[in-house]
Amino acid sequence: MAAPAVAPPSGRAPALLHCRRFPFTLSHTDIEALQPDQWVTDDVIDFYFRYLKHKYFCDSKKYVYIPVNIANLLTERTIDSSTRGIADLAGDANALDMETQCLRKPRAIRVAFLPIFGDGHWSLLVYHKPRGRALPEFLHFNSYLNSTRENHTTCARTALINLLYVFRHNDPTMTISKESYRLVVKNCPQQTNGNDCGVFVCTYAYILSSRLAKREERDRESPLHSLVRRFSSLSNSPPLDRLAGSLNFAVKDRPKDRPADPEDLAWKIKDKDAISPVEMREYLIKTIYSATYSRPPPPASL
């Protein structure tokens, strides 16, 4: 059963929707593309990536969301390792990056999200710089592995190599080697039709972003709180809640089944983690309307 259309507060869709948090405009066509069985537009993906950045990592340079036009450039540009080729690629990428400034300080980046489009299909490529490791890894989330694995993996590999070239051009101190090109194709929830790939890209980005944000919040825990945790683990120490209460700061629940390596768990997306495509489409529509305001289109010229 198809999900009903979500109407804007006014009862009818405005021609233009302007984002309150950052400069971005969507049209009624973008909203219509979020109805079931429609292809999500690149503007919706672009908007949602910008939305995630502002929601979770607004002031952080460690997490970047690369716009669709830059990701397309990295995917479509033929790999050219010559000095001139890299300079031309970086110049074009930096010219497109004037607004978001997401490529200028690559050494500060720990995670970068890239929406990859090729052969009529969307997937998600993630640049990840693990803690304590010198080289990054690239994680590829493809919702149509059976049909597009080989061709789309080639698109992702082209994008990752070109991204590393841009990073190296913008920061010559960065090290690039063959080991830097490691691409891990992740097992992830799969689509069951031919038009939900863009929705799955948004779903993957949402799940990963929310996890990373929670990890950042946990990492910001005060040193005093960490000391109390270690002290409370001793056999003769009082419970953690009593210790924390006496020091007058909040206690966060510690997951009972916390894995030994949360770095690895953060990048696993199972079927039970995913939101259904219909629910995700409805969520995206509601998110767009809550984050934008309508402005009447200019009058037609006489």
Name the residue ranges covered by the structural domains of the chain: 46-220
Instruction: Give me the pLDDT at residue 134, please.
Output: 76
Task: Report how far residue 170's alpha carbon sits from residue 179's, in angstroms, rounded to the nearest whole number.
Answer: 20
Q: For residue 1, what are its two tokens?
A: 């059963």
Question: Could you tell me how far CA 226 lies from the centroid of its own chain?
Answer: 30
Instruction: Give me the pLDDT at residue 293, please.
Output: 87
Architecture of domain 46-220 in this structure? 3-Layer(aba) Sandwich (3.40)
List the beta bridge partners of residue 198. none
List the beta bridge partners of residue 114. 125
Length of the chain: 302
The alpha carbon torsion through 115, 119, 120, 123 (nearest 10 deg) reads -30
Task: Report how far residue 28's alpha carbon sits from residue 40's, in angstroms, rounded to the nearest whole number.
Answer: 12
Q: What's the pTM?
A: 0.80
Tell me the pLDDT of the chain (302 aa) as tens digits. Answer: 334 344 455 555 556 888 988 889 999 899 999 999 999 999 999 999 999 999 999 989 999 999 999 999 999 999 999 999 999 999 999 999 988 888 989 999 999 999 999 989 999 999 999 887 778 899 999 999 887 667 789 999 999 999 999 999 999 998 887 777 889 999 999 999 999 999 999 999 999 999 999 998 887 765 555 555 555 445 454 444 443 343 333 333 444 444 445 566 678 999 999 899 999 999 999 999 999 988 755 555 54
